[in-house]
Amino acid sequence: MSSSERNFLSINGSEIAINGERNLLELIRKAGIEIPTFCYHSELSIYGACRLCLVDIEGRGLQASCSIKPEPGMKIKTATEEIREIRKISVELLLANHKVECPTCPKSSSCKLEELGRKLGVTEVRFKKTNIDYPKDYSSDSLIRDPNKCVLCGDCVRYCREIQGIGAIDFAHRGKNTIVSPAFGKDLGKVECVNCGQCAAVCPVGAITVKPEVDQVFKALDNSEKVVVAQIAPAVRVALGEQFGMNSGDIVTGKITAALKRMGFAKVFDTSFSADLTVIEEGTEFLNRYTKGEKLPQFTSCCPGWVKFAEQYYPEILPRLSSCKSPQQMFGSLAREILPAMLGVKPENLVIVSIMPCTAKKFEARRPEFTHDKIRDIDHVLTTQELSRMIEASGLRFDELEPESLDLPLGFKTGAGVIFGASGGVTEAVLRFAVEKVTGKKLENVDFHAVRGEAGLREATFNLDGKEVRVAMVHGLKNARRVAEEVKVGKCRYDIIEVMACPGGCVGGAGQPVNFAPEVVKRRAKGLYEADKMLQLHKAQENPYIIETYEKILGEVGGQKAHHLLHTKYQSRRRITEKGMPLITGEGTDKLSIKICVGTNCYLKGSQNILKALTKDIEDQGLTETVDIQATFCFEKCGEAPNVMVGDQLISKCTIEKARVALNAELQKKAAETSATSS
C-alpha cells in the first residue's frame, strides 16, 4: 500500500504520519526538523509574509509550508540548495532594511534575525541599505517603538488584533514606505494601547521593546541618601531562572533576594503579602455586593492592562470593577505608610522598586491617582527581563548564589497570595476566603481545581452555604471583550469575573523571559501551585502579619483607613486620548476632577455655560488647589446632553444647579475622608 493510500507523507525521504496538524510547518517540526520563520505563531492566524518557511513539494515547486495543509502522498524536501539560497537572500534583504545596532539592541540576546543570519551563514549583506530614518517613539510608559528595526512580519499587528482585540497598531502606507504604526501616525502613548506589551514579546527583532528603568534604579542604589527596597511579584520567581539556564517553573525566590541584597537593596519584600491583603479586601467587597445583590458581577482589578481596556471600551461597567488597588499599588501605599518610620528614612528618600512580569505595571505606577505630595507610591518598575540584566551587569553568578530570606513583615505570605500569578489564582484565593467567611467553618481542602486551566474563558459554579456562586476566569482581552459585552447588555450569568490581559495570567506577562512554547507557561503556573503547597499557610486570612496590619494600621476591613490606602477609582477614557483642555489644573493628584463635554450636542445644550459658571465658582471660592476642571469630550451620551463628570459621577442632562450640588457633595466627602485619615 502506497503512502498516498495511507495517512503518511514523505519528508526528506522519511515517511511521517499525518495526525491532525493544520499545516506542513507544524508537521515538519514534529518530525524534528526546524524550519525558520518570522511571522508564524501557532496561536495567530497564518500570514505567510516572511517566505522563510519555503519547502519543495514534488509537482508543486516551492511553497510556504505554513499555509499548505498536509496531504497523504506528498513528497517534501526542506533544505535543498535553492531553498537555502532563497532563505539566505531573504535574511540579507531584511538586514538591508533593518537598522543594525546588535551590540546595543535590547533584543540582542534573543533576536531572531541575528539568530537566523548566523544559522544560514550570512556573512555580508549584498544589497543597498535603505536611507529612511524614522524617529523613535518614547511616548508610552511601558514600551519603546523603533520603526527602523521593523521587518514587517506583522506579528505585533496580529497579536494586538487577534488575541487582545484592540488593534492599536497596524500596517500603514504601501510599497517601500510600508510601516507598522499606530493610527494616523500618532505616538503609541496617545492611542488605545493598554500597555500589555505582548507586541514586544512577539516582535522577533528590536522594533518594539520594553521601556527600561535599570539605569534609574542603579542611580538610586548609588545614592547614599536613598534607602531602596524591592517587592517581588509571584510570577517572577518561577521565570527568572530561565535567563540563567534553569528550568521554567523553578522557584528562585531565595536567589532573587540574595541578588537584590548584593546589589544594595536595603530590604526585599513580597508582592504576595499585598496579594493576601487584596484577597481580604476584594473578598469582603464581593460578599457585601453578593449579599445586597448590587453591582454584580464583580470584576477583578489586579491587571492594569484589563483596567485600562475597561476604561477605554466599557466605562459603563467600571462600577462593577472591584475598587481594590492591584497588589503592586497596595504594597506601595502601605509601604509609604509604615516603612519611613520603620527604616528611619525621610519619605522622599525611600525608593520603592517593583519587580514584575508585566509591562503594564510601568504605566500603572505612573497613574496620577497613585501619586501623593509629588511622591509616587511606586518609584520604579523592573520587568523580569530587566532584573536579569541588572544581575548580569552586577557580575553576580545567579546560579551560584546561596538563597536568602525575604524581610518581614511585608515579606510574609500565604499560598493564596502566591497563586495570584496564574490565571484563576485570584478567584481561587478569594474562594478560600469567602467560603470560610460565609460558613464560619475551617476550610480543610483549599484547592479549587475547577478554576484552573488553560482555556481563554473558563467557568465554574460553587455552592456557598446553600447559594450558588458562578465564576468566570478570562485571559486575553479579546475574551474579556466577549464577557464585557454580555455584562453590558444584561445577559451575564456570572457573579465573579477574573480578567488577566496576558496568556495564562501573569506567568505569561510580556516582561517575562520570551518563550513561545505553551508548556513553558504551564510549567511556570505549576511552579506557583507547588510553591503554595510548600507553604504552611494557604489562606490570606491566616497570615499573621496581615492580621497585625489591620489591628495596628488599617483598622476594620473595608473601613475608612483601609479604603483610603487600599482602594481607588477608575475613569472613562473613551475617545479621550489626552487630558483635554484644562481650565484650572495643576500638579496635585488628589484634586477633585471635573470634566465637562464641549462636543457639538453638549455645547448646543449649554455645556459652555456650565463650564464658565463652575470655573467662576471655583475661583471665587478659592478652590483652585482642590478642584481640577477640564473641557473635554466625549461621554458617548449625546442624546442626554449636556454631560458633566464630577469625580466618578456622570451627570447627564446636567444643569448649573445639578453640577453645583454634585461639586459641593464631593467636596464634603473629600473633607470627611481627609479628616478621618488624619485622625
Beta pairing class for 267-270 and 227-232:
parallel
> Annotated catalytic residue: which of 90, 322, 354, 572?
322
> Annotated catalytic residue: which of 213, 242, 281, 285?
285
**Is 364 designated active site?**
yes
Q: What percent of the chain has pLDDT over 90?
A: 62
**Is 242 designated active site?**
no
Taking 70 as the threshold, does the pLDDT of residue 581 lie above it? no
Query: How does residue 575 score in pLDDT terms, banded at 50, 70 and 90?
Result: low
**What residue segments make up the domains of the chain, in order of their start?**
8-79, 102-111+119-210, 215-566, 581-678
- Grid cell, residue 289, equals 455586593
Strands (E), 361-403: 371-372, 375-376, 380-383
**Is 361 designated active site?**
yes
> Annotated catalytic residue: which of 66, 502, 506, 597?
506
**Is 42 designated active site?**
no
Structure confidence at residue 156 (pLDDT): 92
Lowest mean pLDDT among 53-57, 102-106, 332-336, 379-383: 102-106
pLDDT tens sequence across 36-82: 887 777 777 777 777 888 999 999 999 888 888 999 999 999 989 99
- The angle that helices 607-620 and 656-678 make with each other, rounded to 10 degrees, is 40
What mean pLDDT comes out for the span 440-459? Answer: 92
Structure confidence at residue 189 (pLDDT): 92
Phi-psi group of 373: left, alpha or beta (phi > 0 → left; psi -120 to 50 → alpha; rest → beta)? left
**Is 434 within 8 Å of 464 (Cβ atoms)?**
yes
**Is 625 designated active site?**
no
Neighbouring residues of 105: CB distance < 8 A, sequence distance ≥ 6: 111, 149, 205, 206
> Annotated catalytic residue: which of 364, 386, 498, 542?
364
What mean pLDDT comes out for the span 545-567? Answer: 94
Query: How does residue 677 score in pLDDT terms, banded at 50, 70 and 90?
Result: low
Taking 80 as the threshold, does the pLDDT of residue 16 lie above it? yes
**Beta-bridge partners for 440:** none
- Bigger pLDDT: 602 or 635? 602
Q: If you average pLDDT over each of 83-92, 285-294, 577-586, which comes out highest?
A: 285-294
**Is 34 designated active site?**
no
SS3 content of the chain, % helix, strand, coil (to 5): 45, 15, 40
Taking 50 as the threshold, does the pLDDT of residue 289 lie above it? yes
Query: How does residue 648 score in pLDDT terms, banded at 50, 70 and 90?
Result: confident
- The angle that helices 384-393 and 253-263 make with each other, rounded to 10 degrees, is 50
Greatest alpha-carbon span in the chain: 95
What mean pLDDT comes out for the span 22-36? Answer: 88
**Which residue from 282, 284, 268 is spatially nearest to 321, judged by alpha carbons?**
282
Cα 309 to Cα 207, 484, 492, 567, distances in angstroms: 24, 10, 19, 19
Alpha carbons 175 and 25: distance in angstroms, whole number: 28
**Is 392 designated active site?**
no
> Annotated catalytic residue: which of 26, 114, 281, 282?
282
- Bigger pLDDT: 19 or 364? 364
Taking 70 as the threshold, does the pLDDT of residue 124 lie above it? yes
On average, the pLDDT of the chain sits at: 90
pLDDT tens sequence across 357-409: 999 999 999 999 999 988 999 999 999 999 999 999 999 999 999 999 999 99
**Is 161 within 8 Å of 155 (Cβ atoms)?**
no
H/E segment holding residue 440: none
What mean pLDDT comes out for the span 506-525? Answer: 91
**Is 406 within 8 Å of 417 (Cβ atoms)?**
no
Neighbours of 281 (CB within 10 A): 23
> Annotated catalytic residue: which of 193, 302, 358, 492?
302
295 phi/psi in degrees, rounded to 5: 50, 45
CATH classification for the domain delimited by 581-678, as one of 3.30.160.150, 3.60.130.10, 3.30.390.30, 3.40.30.10: 3.40.30.10
The class that CATH gives domain 102-111+119-210 is alpha beta
Query: How does residue 576 score in pLDDT terms, banded at 50, 70 and 90?
Result: very low
**Is 506 designated active site?**
yes
Q: Which residues in 428-450 are b (16+ Cβ under 10 Å) and which e?
A: bbbbbbbbbbbeeeebeebebeb
Q: What percent of the chain has pLDDT over 70?
A: 96
**Which residue from 43, 92, 34, 86 is spatially nearest to 63, judged by alpha carbons?**
86
**Which residue from 669, 670, 642 is spatially nearest to 656, judged by alpha carbons?**
642
Its CATH architecture, for the domain 215-566, is: 3-Layer(aba) Sandwich (3.40)
- Bigger pLDDT: 637 or 435? 435
| HEC readout, 212-240 | CCHHHHHHHHHCCCCEEEEEECHHHHHCH
Structure confidence at residue 48 (pLDDT): 72
Structure confidence at residue 3 (pLDDT): 54
8-79 CATH fold: Ubiquitin-like (UB roll) (3.10.20)
> Annotated catalytic residue: which of 107, 149, 361, 595?
361
∠ CA 304-435-553, nearest 5°, is 60
